[in-house]
Structure 1
Amino acid sequence: MGWQEHYRRRDALDAVIASGGELSVPEPFTDLDELLLALHHRWSMRLAGRLELAVTAAERDPDLDRARAVGEAWRASAADNAALRRILERHADRPVLRERVDAERRALADVAGLTAPGDAAEDRAAVGAAFLALVETRPRRNPVERLLRRLAPSA
């Protein structure tokens, strides 16, 4: 892809996001799946930058809770990209996005320190989904404790 194509795709994504999610497929995209993949890629890149900063801050400051830092990074990314998040959430059940949503959940669980890459993928995705549910509801004090309570109601 040359620079002209890059800018055409960027401008088309900007227009879709600015439209509030009217998903008619603009040029240069060929179908809805290709458009959704490009939108998800944009979200992933923005989230990854914030997560990297959060993890670095947590590694430097032993008093900073890693899970809390990751949750705050996700919330800040979602707030800064609210229209993009709405579009992706509206289409999260489409087959083209399901695998990417699960991959994001696994990554969140790993980065927050709640799972390890060697754990079963299904378990990591489930922990990531529970963590994300807590993050989206704005945890009161300790997101890890709330996550554990949600995963094990007897805890």
Structure 2
Amino acid sequence: MGNGDTTMSWEDFYRRRDALDAAERLASRDPEGPLPFAQVPHATEVFTGPAELLLALHYRWTMKLTGRLGMAVADAESDPSIDRVDAVRTAWLATAREFPVLRRLLDAHADDFDGALRPALAGEHRMLALASGLAEHGEDPEEITRIGQALLALIRTTPDHEPAPEPERRRNPIEQFLRKLVASV
């Protein structure tokens, strides 16, 4: 696959999956340390280099997060007592708790390899902003990205506890703050 071939056989798929698993296993010793590309078996056969490995790891994270976000948004849409921002927050935190090495690895290498991961992270930020309802399709993509970045910063810094129910109003304090913050930018 690393040679520019765009078709993937099942053997390629399993080697790529195994390489990603090995990268996570090796990184579990020190997720903030150097990306263990050279130590990953078959990495040079399935990835063009460390940047492509990092992007594949982010794709893995995105697939795990997307599944949780989809369920959270569906729950919020079917139950008016569930706040979408809280649902997105809970989904992101649950994914980060379940896959801590993967998340820490991505965070530690976000700016490595000439910022290869930046577009993928911007996509993640837009996904969070849209899923939370803080932004809508059709808005400026850069603005959606900024909203998602602000939301993620709040998710990461807000104590990890279940939000108190607020039946009398739909927007939670985080959403209200984000809307004020975005309006001031």
In the TM superposition, 1:119-138 aligns within 5 A as 119-138=139-158
Q: Percent identity?
A: 44
8 Å Cα contact 1:107-1:128 kept in structure 2: yes
Is the 1:108–1:128 Cα contact (8 Å) retained in structure 2? yes
The answer to whether the 8 Å contact 1:134/1:146 transfers is no
Whether 2:10 is the aligned partner of 1:3: answer yes
Aligned letter for 2:179? Answer: L
Name the CA distance, whole Å, in 2 between partners of 1:23 and 1:105.
23
2:61·2:102 contact (CA, 8 Å) conserved in 1? yes
The residue aligned with 2:175 is 144
Give the number of aligned pairs. 153
Q: C-alpha root-mean-square deviation of aligned residues, in Å?
A: 1.8
What pairs up with 1:1-155 in 2 under 5 angstroms?
Answer: 1-19=8-26, 20=28, 21=31, 22-25=34-37, 26=40, 27=42, 28-94=46-112, 95-138=115-158, 141=163, 142-151=173-182
Q: Distance in 2 between matches of 1:149 and 1:86?
A: 30
Cα deviation for residue 71 of structure 1 reads: 0.8
Cα offset for 1:150? 4.3
Alpha-carbon distance in 2 for matches of 1:69, 1:137:
16
Per the normalisation by structure 1, the TM-score is 0.90
Superposed CA deviations along residues 14-48 of structure 1, whole A, max 9, x for unmatched, are 11111224523232323111101110110010000
Unaligned runs of 5+ in 2: 1-7, 164-172
